[in-house]
Structure 1
Amino acid sequence: MFWYEDEVKRLERQRLQDKRQPATLFYGSSSIRLWDNLSVDFKDFDAVNLGFGGSTLAACTWFFNRVMAGYKPKRLVLYAGDNDLGDGRHPEEVFLYFQQFAARVMKKFGPIPCYFISLKPSINRWGLINSFKFTNDILLQEIKQNQPNWRWIDIYNPMLNADGYPDAQYFLEDGLHLSQRGYLLWKDIIRGALIA
């Protein structure tokens, strides 16, 4: 996990410099990290961006206590697991990391509302799509059956075109990271979930 150290230290410095107490924490991988307008898009939810590039759900769990030090949020939004599968981890490993993550959230923050953004169907990782579908399925079932404080946000299906393939307009040229249109889509879906 040492390769994330600089990013985690950046988030620790950010916390020391920002003395406010944001109500909503967005945490996860580069899909969160690269969301430049996140704090504006969710201004009425008093949001802060705690994403760190390239992070896995394993890394989000590993660094949870360091990154979350000093925060007392009203809600937490997570996007992670995408890079775990990209790195060759099995869906059931991602499932176990999620269980560990949920336990850490409960221990630190208590029963606050939490939101898991489903794994996205990217062009770049289409060869792994069955693993992505399976991971989404088992995480959704875990949330429905065993995680009463968690809510599922489906961005997988809305990002597909009429042929059931990832819609290119939502991605940058790398076929992995979100375009401006991709973030507009996410914004509308996530806001809808937070308001519901």
Structure 2
Amino acid sequence: MTMIPSTKNSRWFSMMGLLILLSTMQALSQEQRFGTYYQQRKTLFELMPNTKNEIIFLGNSITDGGEWSELFQNRHVKNRGISGDITEGVLYRLEEVTESKPAKVFILIGVNDLARGISNDTVYANICRIASLIFEQSPKTTVYIQSILPVNPDFGKFTGHCSKTEDILWINKQLAQWCKHKPAEFIDLFLHFKNTTNNHMNPSFTNDGLHLTGKGYLHWANIIRPYL
């Protein structure tokens, strides 16, 4: 005997189908908004096997550019940087980071947000949200929030980024205070990378005012080596 679905059941299935479609469209919209390189890296990270005692470097192009496992000669170190990423992009892909229950996560993010006109307090709140979600999803993970690095406008490049020194200083100050009351440790990279005469990036460590040269990465590695 053929069963004729009730009007109520038909409406329920239609509603469920609509919700699934909307969820899929929203996910695709998010992926497209973050860009093709973001998708390339995110999908690669998701296919990589989880391992024990991972030490994850999480951030944007500045993190992406580091050969971290070689710098530290440590097979547990994983690079989860995506060039061009913003705090919202990190939040969107954070589940891949926490599902392995990493031993440590080093966060550095925010300067691309500022270049896009995202407000100081939003950047600060999102970084705190990233750390809080790591605490929640992987309670045994040690979280390090690294300060946003200084920038240098003298190179005449990345003007949207390199005009944000005051914003960077404000966010770093707020993050340092937040970490005093949370189970996260603040690492002041800004202090180690700035000029002695002003708050710009020391030109010894950059060739464009934003990104690091090899000397810059070696300097960074030496600063955080004690935390590994």
Bin the TM-score by the shorter chain.
0.7 to 0.9
Moved more, 131-140 or 156-165: 156-165
Residue by residue over 1:81-102, the C-alpha shift from the partner in whole angstroms, topping out at 9 and shown as x without a partner, is 1111121112111121122212
Letter of the 1:61 partner, please give it.
L
> For 1:23-62, what aligned pairs fall within 5 Å after superposition?
23-35=54-66, 37-44=67-74, 46-62=76-92
CA positional deviation for 1:80: 0.3
Give the direction of change, closer, same or farther, for the CA distance of 1:15–1:21 in structure 2 (3 Å limit): farther
> Contact 1:118–1:154 (CA<8 Å) still a contact in 2?
yes
- The structure with the larger Rg is 2
Moved more, 81-90 or 17-26: 17-26
Is 2:121 the counterpart of 1:115?
no
User: Do the aligned residues in 1 keep the contact of 2:91 with 2:130 (CA within 8 Å)?
Assistant: yes
Alignment check: 8 A CA contact 2:103 2:140 kept? no
> Structure 1: which amino acid aligns with 2:223?
I
State the identity %.
Answer: 22
TM-score by length of 2: 0.75
The residue that corresponds to 1:140 in the other structure is 176
Inter-CA distance 45–92: structure 2 relative to 1 (3 Å threshold): farther
- Equivalent pairs counted in the alignment come to 189
User: Aligned residue for 2:6?
Assistant: none
Asked if the contact 1:116–1:152 (Cα under 8 Å) also holds between the matched residues in 2, the reply is yes
| Closer/same/farther in 2, CA of residues 90 and 17 from structure 1, 3 Å limit | closer
Report the counterpart of residue 15 of structure 2 in structure 1. none
Structure 2: gaps spanning 5 or more residues: 1-29, 154-160
Q: Quick one: higher RCO (CA 8 Å, sep 6+), 1 or 2?
A: 1
Question: Does the alignment pair 1:156 with 2:190?
Answer: yes
Q: Please report how far the alpha carbon of residue 56 of structure 1 lies from its aligned counterpart in structure 2 after TM superposition.
A: 0.9
Distance 1:114 1:69, change over 3 A: closer
Q: Counterpart in 1 of 2:27?
A: none
- Quote the residue 2:157 is aligned against: none
Deviation for aligned residue 1:14? 3.9
2:105 aligns with one of 76, 81, 95: 76
Q: Closer, same or farther in 2 for the Cα pair 1:69/1:140, shift >3 Å? A: closer
| CA–CA separation in structure 2 for the residues paired with 1:57 and 1:156 | 19
Unaligned stretches of 5+ residues in structure 1: none
Q: Which amino acid aligns with 2:176?
A: L
Q: Does 1:16 align with 2:47?
A: yes
Amino acid at match of 1:34: G
Q: Confirm or deny: 8 A CA contact 2:41 2:82 kept in the other structure.
A: no
The partner residue of 1:183 within 198, 209, 217 is 217
1:62-117, Cα deviation, whole Å (9 max, x unpaired): 2212x326422111111101111121112111121122212211221114211111
Task: Tell me by how many angstroms 1:10 deviates.
Answer: 2.9
Deviations 1:124-170 (A, max 9, x none): 4442211110010011111112x12x111111011122212321111
Amino acid of the structure 2 residue aligned with 1:68: V
